[in-house]
Structure 1
Amino acid sequence: MKRNEPQGMPKVIEPQLATLAKRPPAHGDWSYEIKFDGYRMLARIASCDVRLVTRNGYNWTDRMPKLRDALDVLPVHDAWLDGEAVVLNAAGVPDFNALQNAFDRRGKGQIVLFLFDLLWMNRTDLRVQPLRDRRAALRELMDQVESPLLRFSDNFTDDPASIIESARKMKLEGIIGKRIDAPYRSGRSTSWIKLKCNQRQEFVVGGITRGKADIDSLLLGVFDPDGSLRYVGSVPPYFTSRQASAFFARAEAQEFTPFRNTPKAERGREYLWLKPVIVVEVSFREWTRGGELRHALSRGTRRQARARSDGRASH
């Protein structure tokens, strides 16, 4: 589609970023969208140039030629759009590992761009308008799109607690809350919030690493049906001095690794193997295809727990 370079259209727009929140806001008019597990991507359409730009300003257009072609035929003279590039699995849920494989040209997944904001269109700066108006304009534009690679990110106005619970059951990363009366503001903002719905599980500690701190990380495992302990990742303990002392009082060192798949040693770290008797509760985003935890966070040790063959704890 032939276009002329619009006057006044920004060469660069820094994306608006959400602030992590512990709970939904009690006041204000908010709408909620799925927090896609992908790569944040802004699209700039002007003249004969269509660009896909990451949140850090890198031009990834050549890595997504099909998306570039889909954007090129949008019925606009010029535009800036905000969205997230994802690959959907068989259940229709974003799969971050499949997305990485698609970029590495190892996977067969089709990269889809979910669009959730319209910042500029047809020589008009829409960033000053409230979200409700920008979204209405975006929906009207997306109603004219036939490509399955470009999709509108639907929003929900239900009780956020029920939305989070639904997202958790679908094993989604979380949800994004947005003030519908707020303009678009580049950078971190409290008018956009993210509410995560991590999974939680108990894991066996099979060792620790030491670096500059007394305990650099806990090495976690689960027991497989054959009774062997399988390494699934590590997590920083965030112990206070008292908690660290209590941990060492319970820990029983052993000479050999208890894991059947010993983690690869990293330079500058000391590895201490432990008898697999201490259980910790950990929240995490998801399991990787390699069977390890992604974005794990320790929630503390279990005082009266011992490891069971299913990798959970008995009390």
Structure 2
Amino acid sequence: MVMLMLFTQINPMLVTMGTQAFDANDWIFEPKYDGWRILIHKEGKRVEAFTRNGRNVTSKFPELRKAMDAIHAHTVILDGEGVCFRDDRTIFDDFAYRGRLSDPIKIEAARQTHPATFVIFDVLYASSDRRNELLLERKRILNEIVEPSQQFIPTMYVHEHGKRLSTLSVERDWEGIVAKRQDTTYITDIRTANWLKIKNFKMIDTVILGYRTVPTFALVVGLHFRTMRNKPVAVVEFGFTADERLAFLQTAEKIQTNYKDGTQYIEPVLCCKVKYLERTETHHLRTTSFKGFLFDKKPEDCWWLYR
């Protein structure tokens, strides 16, 4: 196994997409947090944080200085998620906002308005290399050396009962859960089926901006953002009945505007509900399906959900 190097890029172990929650006595289950994957390196009083792609973001998060009090080990490398909480939910946009800042004055102000928390779920190094140790042993070590605080939290997990935690994640509007085999070691720079992310589908009301008929019928839908109205966020190809397609095309003929790059744009006066699994950092929705027209919805009310 390659020797770990402090304060340099380490490509973490990555999860595979799962399909649905399950129960199994040789797995544990954790909440899925909506933020940035962060690896924290500490040696004595020196602490640095890296994204999964190796970008050093230490200067963006003064909260890392609290590691001296929260992490009770001289030399460690920890794996986790950088998040911003609102109530008991993690808000991706808030942490992404923190990650975009570079002005020290704005960073200090954001520490008050958008405080960052680092949820730790694994330990790669603690006095010695821990990657060959099994997951539950790494969890034991993690809970021994990380003292819960506003800035650093060892993630919760449950044994066996993935369905129960998944139900809770839906009730609390979390992103989903992560399932992990108890007997796994930590292998850097791979994507493994021994770790599964099981995300919750979400619904959102969108404005119909246009449509395509080639190669298949699809709606181009958009949302309003603070800095932009009618931003395209998805091309929705699935979920339509034949009658819904026909009725839409008949209506769309009367409100067509310009045609560009395979899309016939229309006046943004119609709305529909879209189901989606996840979104990119630029708010593009993935794994989408059509869930019905919204005849009573006002297009000006179709905003991205800043929660």
Same fold (TM over 0.5): yes
Does residue 199 of structure 1 match 2:202? Answer: yes
Does residue 235 of structure 1 match 2:231? Answer: no
1:253 and 1:272 in contact (8 A); partners too: no
| Aligned partner of residue 18 in structure 1, secondary structure | strand
List per-residue Cα deviations over 1:249-302 (Å, max 9, x = no partner).
Answer: 7513245479xxxxxx9985744217967956523558x9xxx97635332465
Worse-superposed segment, 172-181 or 204-213: 204-213
| Aligned partner of residue 98 in structure 2, secondary structure | helix
Give the number of the structure whose residues are more often helix, by fraction.
Answer: 2
Residue 192 to residue 205, structure 1, CA distance change in 2 (3 Å): same
Partner of 1:140: 144
Match of 2:133 among 129, 138, 159: 129
Partner of 1:5: none
The amino acid across from 2:116 in the alignment is: I
Partner of 1:247: 245
Mapped to 2, the partners of 1:163 and 1:232 lie a distance apart of: 35
Does residue 150 of structure 1 match 2:152? Answer: yes
* CA RMSD of superposed structures (Å): 3.9
Partner of 2:125: 120
1:93 and 1:172 in contact (8 A); partners too: yes
Worse-superposed segment, 148-157 or 246-255: 246-255
Partner of 2:301: none
Partner of 1:70: 66
Residue 9 to residue 297, structure 1, CA distance change in 2 (3 Å): closer
| C-alpha displacement of 1:171 | 0.8
| Aligned partner of residue 58 in structure 1, secondary structure | coil
The amino acid across from 1:92 in the alignment is: D
List per-residue Cα deviations over 1:221-262 (Å, max 9, x = no partner).
Answer: 79xxxxxxx96854223369x98998367513245479xxxx
2:60 and 2:98 in contact (8 A); partners too: no
**Which ranges of structure 1 fall in alignment gaps of 5 or more residues?**
1-7, 223-229, 259-264
| Aligned partner of residue 265 in structure 2, secondary structure | strand
What is the TM-score when the length of structure 2 is the normalising length? 0.74
List per-residue Cα deviations over 1:147-193 (Å, max 9, x = no partner).
Answer: 42111101012522221121011111011111111101122111110
Does residue 297 of structure 1 match 2:287? Answer: yes
Identity %: 20
List per-residue Cα deviations over 1:11-70 (Å, max 9, x = no partner).
Answer: 442111110011245756111111110111001123663210000011111111221x12
Does residue 94 of structure 1 match 2:90? Answer: yes
The amino acid across from 1:29 in the alignment is: D
What is the TM-score when the length of structure 1 is the normalising length? 0.72
Structure number with larger C-alpha Rg: 1
| Aligned partner of residue 29 in structure 1, secondary structure | strand
**Which ranges of structure 2 fall in alignment gaps of 5 or more residues?**
299-307
Partner of 1:83: 80
Partner of 1:170: 172
